[in-house]
Amino acid sequence: MMWPAIDPVAIHLGPLAIHWYGLMYIAGFSATWYLVRLQLKQAGLWETRVPEQAYEGLFTALILGVVLGGRLGYVLFYNFPYYSQHPLEILYVWQGGMSFHGGLVGPIIAGWWYCRKHDLPFLQLADRFFTVAPLGLMFGRIGNFINGELWGRVTDMPWGMIFPGAGPLPRHPSQLYEMTLEGIVLFVLLWSLRKRDWPAGARVALFLTGYAIARIICEEFREPDVQLGFLFGPVTMGMLLSSVMLVAGPVWLWILFRKQKNRHH
């Protein structure tokens, strides 16, 4: 199969070009804003613990955290030797280069800081945001596929695709695998569990665990970044970083439920 050559520019408005990838970010942020607000209303937290103005400020802080964290994560984890020699290019975000794991740490730090400053319930809010975070991942992977980037390894499967710039051999459309596992499947799981009477922070731990499993599976089909390749054996940087989440998620979940059990005793 040939990769469906989709124009990365969705709309041309004179000299202004609006890219599909940018629209995917907007779609992800919009869905998150609406669904987190919905959850807060259902939980009775809207306007009682989370005023609308504070929510809007928090959302702005989280967006900045995603962008800054994602960029710095890419610089540090995926291409530090290059950017250490070309530090100004760290600012060239339009050239691409974002890391999910950096984009995870960034908003956690920004959210914690904002919640502490404005007396907002950090873990309760984090649970709601992480419940719908997979939707943002889904839209992001769609953007990767449209851009014909982050393709998979060579395959002889009938759905293998020939991507421009990736040579003449068909490859796994790993962007679609990630869209499905990290996005759709993880969202359905977390959304179905959103009303469970679990300790605050439990759904964050579940997200960390679920994402790590999905990402490690998908990394088996994804071509490693050319500047890194395999770190050792079959292990990629994505696997290594996700392994930290795979340990942290269950451990934190165990701690939270153990504290809840002790309180009930």
Express each pLDDT in 93-147 by its tens digit: 777 788 999 999 999 999 999 999 999 999 999 999 999 999 999 999 999 999 9
The candidate with the shortest Cα–Cα distance to 66, out of 129, 150, 142, is 129
- pLDDT at residue number 262: 80
User: Is position 180 within any domain?
Assistant: yes
Judge whether 63 and 25 are in contact, CB under 8 Å: no
CA distance 79 to 96: 12
CA distance 10 to 17: 8
- Which residue range(s) make up the domain with 237? 9-50+121-264
- Quote the tokens at residue 179: 């869209």
User: Is position 138 within any domain?
Assistant: yes
* Per-residue pLDDT tens digits for 167-213: 999 999 999 999 999 999 999 999 999 999 999 999 999 999 999 99
- Mean pLDDT of all residues in the chain? 93
Query: What pTM value is reported for the model?
Result: 0.93
Q: How far is CA 13 from CA 24, 27, 75, in A?
A: 18, 20, 32
User: Is position 238 within any domain?
Assistant: yes
Largest CA distance in the chain: 67
- pLDDT at residue number 265: 66
CA distance 214 to 198: 23
- Return the C-alpha torsion angle 142, 233, 231, 215, nearest 10: 30
Q: Domains in the chain: how many in total?
A: 1
User: Is position 130 within any domain?
Assistant: yes
Average pLDDT over residues 82-103: 88
Annotated binding residue at 141?
yes
User: Is position 95 within any domain?
Assistant: no
User: Is position 26 within any domain?
Assistant: yes
Of the pLDDT bands very low, low, confident and very high (cuts 50, 70, 90), residue 157 is very high
Judge whether 141 and 179 are in contact, CB under 8 Å: yes
User: Is position 81 within any domain?
Assistant: no
User: Is position 134 within any domain?
Assistant: yes
List b or e across 27-51, with b for residues whose CB sees 16 or more CB atoms inside 10 angstroms. Answer: bbbebbbebbbebbeebebbeeebe
